[in-house]
Amino acid sequence: MLRFDVLTLFPDMVAPVLAHSMLKRGQEKGLLTVKGHNLRDFTADRHKVVDDMPYGGGAGMVMKAEPILLAVAAIRHEAQASGEDIRMMFPTPHGRPFTQDHARQLADERRRIVILCGHYEGVDERVRMALAPEEVSLGDYVLTGGELPALVLIDAAARLVPGVLGDPVSALEESFVDALLEYPQYTRPAEIGGIGVPDVLLSGHHEAIRLWRRKQALRSTYVRRPDLLKGRIFTKEDQQLLDELMSEGLLTAPTSTPGGGLSP
């Protein structure tokens, strides 16, 4: 069972996302639990103050350390009472980029994963000093809070837990598996506005379909995310498919523009 504890000032932001689709099913099947903890419940004052002005001045408010440290201590205590350990995570733009490998590692985690959601200008630095959380970033941009990143971590990990997805093969045949982007997908109707579906997908020839998909995955990755192929040693089959793409003139110079590069 994958277990998350989310420390947040806005538990109502987190709960609705967990009430739908695969995440809901994962919880119903007992494969996943997510518990939201309102940091205001760990304040000692009458007004339940969780933030304060930054020392040194400046815009915005900073989340106070004490409620966070108390909340983590309470979760750690509860975990230890049942012989468990915790893994502390903090989504922040300062963290290392969150990747599919990271998601896979989380999916195998047996400890309770505690995610601290920052908000406002961020969190008192002493929280990082005291808890030394694993810091992960969703990308080089700034969000209003850590709630969406926490949900991203939970979603990315939970869908890799066997039984959460409807079809377990889905997680084996998708982008970043084998460090490639996924091949293009099509569904009915067979023609839209004069654009059809590649003949091979209608052929029923499984090996030909497999090779076509592999080739398209290599092409897409080469064009859109050449960084994923850096240092890669290609199998004989992949090299052959790349050679074919080259000779068909379908591999142009890599482009870093999303959606740029080759036409379908």
Residue 142 touching ligand SAM (CB under 6 A): yes
Q: Is 252 in the site for ligand SAM (CB under 6 A)?
A: no
Instruction: Please tell me the count of residues contacting ligand SAM according to CB under 6 A.
Output: 19
Q: How far apart are the first and last CA of the chain?
A: 41
Q: Is 254 in the site for ligand SAM (CB under 6 A)?
A: no
Beta-carbon-side half-sphere exposure of residue 182 (alpha carbons within 13 Å): 9
- Residue 248: phi and psi, rounded to 5, are -80, 0
CB of 129 to ligand SAM, least distance (A): 15
Q: Identify the residue among 69, 70, 79, 138 touching ligand SAM (CB under 6 A).
A: 138
CB 103 within 8 A of CB 149: no
CA 198 vs CA 188, 203, 224, 264: distances in Å: 12, 9, 21, 10
Q: Is 145 in the site for ligand SAM (CB under 6 A)?
A: yes
Give the shortest CB-134-to-ligand SAM separation in angstroms.
12
Q: Judged by CB, which is closer to ligand SAM: 66, or 121?
A: 121
198 binds ligand SAM (CB under 6 A): no
User: Whole-angstrom Cα distance, residue 116 to residue 37?
Assistant: 10
Mask for 81-120, x = binds ligand SAM (CB under 6 A) = ----------xxx-----------------------xxx-
- Mark the segment that binds ligand SAM (CB under 6 A) among 40-48, 105-113, 141-149, 192-200: 141-149
**What is the rounded CA–CA span in Å between residue 13 and residue 210?**
41
CA distances from 100 to 44, 63, 87, 120, 177 (A): 40, 30, 18, 28, 8
Residue 133 binds ligand SAM (CB under 6 A): no
Please report whether residue 149 would count as binding ligand SAM according to CB under 6 A.
yes
Instruction: Indicate the residue whose CB is closest to ligand SAM.
Output: 118
36 contributes a contact to ligand SAM by CB under 6 A: no
- What SS3 string covers 47-72? CCCCEECCCCCCCCCEECHHHHHHHH
Q: Does 179 bind ligand SAM (CB under 6 A)?
A: no
Q: Tell me the C-alpha distance between 170 and 193, whole Å.
A: 29
Closest CA to 50 of 71, 65, 37, 72: 65
Taking CB under 6 A as the criterion, the residue among 79, 143, 165, 177 binding ligand SAM is 143
Least distance from ligand SAM to the Cβ atom of residue 144, Å = 6
Among 146, 153, 157, 161, binds ligand SAM (CB under 6 A): 146
What does the block give as tokens for 90? Answer: 């903090």
The footprint of ligand SAM (CB under 6 A) covers 91-93, 117-119, 121-123, 137-139, 141-146, 149
